[in-house]
């Protein structure tokens, strides 16, 4: 006797599970294949239908923003930490994410071009300013460094990541570039 191996459609009861599966799949696919990877690859990785994907995320940009928002929650928690080392932890995490998940930074660049009213720069500025000020007051960071300097350095890192032909020493390339502007993250 043959068994029916088709998936049972759990409908709305599966909504939260499907959303989590889609977000995890999108993070994996975009990280491995870039922001413009086919959404069919996300669907396949998540084990859902295209209809389910589009019901949750009508556009590629909305999907990428949802994944990126998971990172922002982590960034915001570090930024809100009152200790003077929070800037170093936050900066290190931002650089690591930029190197490891450049697709999401690519999404932000795309959003700046397409999404009406999206100003990720202001959001980033608000995230970086409090911990940078605390680090400067504690003498951990050059007092002349501005949030705009830090944001420019992050864009520089993204440029290195997306234009590197040889990625075997990507972290070394990034470290050398950051050393030139005095923002080298700890090893």
Give pLDDT tens digits for 118-151: 677 888 999 999 999 999 999 999 999 999 999 9
- CB proximity list for 119: less than 8 A, separation 6 or greater: none
pLDDT score of 29 more than 70? yes
| 51's tokens | 């209809």
* DSSP string for residues in 38-93: -HHHHHHHHT--HHHHHHH-SSHHHHHHHHHHHHHHHHHHHHH--STTHHHHHHHH
pLDDT score of 49 more than 60? yes
Indicate the class that CATH gives domain 11-56. Answer: mainly alpha
Give pLDDT tens digits for 68-110: 888 888 999 999 999 999 999 999 999 998 888 877 777 767 7
| Rounded average pLDDT over 9-26 | 82
- CB proximity list for 169: less than 8 A, separation 6 or greater: none
SS3 186: coil
Domain ranges in the chain? 11-56, 60-180
Residue 7: CB atoms within 10 Å: 10
Phi, psi (degrees; rounded to nearest 5) at 147? -60, -40
pLDDT score of 2 more than 60? no
| Rounded average pLDDT over 42-46 | 96
Alpha helices in 85-146 (DSSP H): 86-100, 102-114, 120-137
């Amino acid at each position: 006797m043959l068994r029916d191996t088709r998936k049972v459609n759990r409908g709305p009861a599966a909504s939260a599970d499907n959303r989590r599966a889609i977000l995890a799949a999108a993070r994996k696919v975009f990280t491995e294949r870039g922001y413009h990877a086919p959404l069919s690859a996300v669907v396949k990785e998540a084990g859902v239908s295209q209809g389910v994907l589009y019901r949750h995320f009508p556009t590629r940009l909305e999907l990428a923003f949802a994944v990126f928002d998971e990172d922002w929650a982590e960034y915001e928690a570090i930024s809100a930490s009152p200790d003077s080392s929070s800037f170093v932890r936050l900066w290190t995490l931002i650089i690591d994410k930029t190197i490891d998940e450049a697709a999401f930074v690519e999404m932000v660049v795309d959003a700046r071009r397409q999404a009406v009213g999206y100003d990720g720069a202001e959001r980033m500025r608000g995230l970086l300013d409090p911990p940078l000020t605390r680090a400067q007051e504690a003498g951990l960071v050059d007092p002349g460094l501005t949030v705009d300097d830090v944001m420019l350095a992050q864009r520089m890192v993204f440029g290195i990541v997306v234009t590197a032909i040889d990625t075997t020493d990507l972290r070394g390339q990034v470290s050398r570039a950051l050393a030139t502007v005095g923002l080298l993250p700890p090893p």
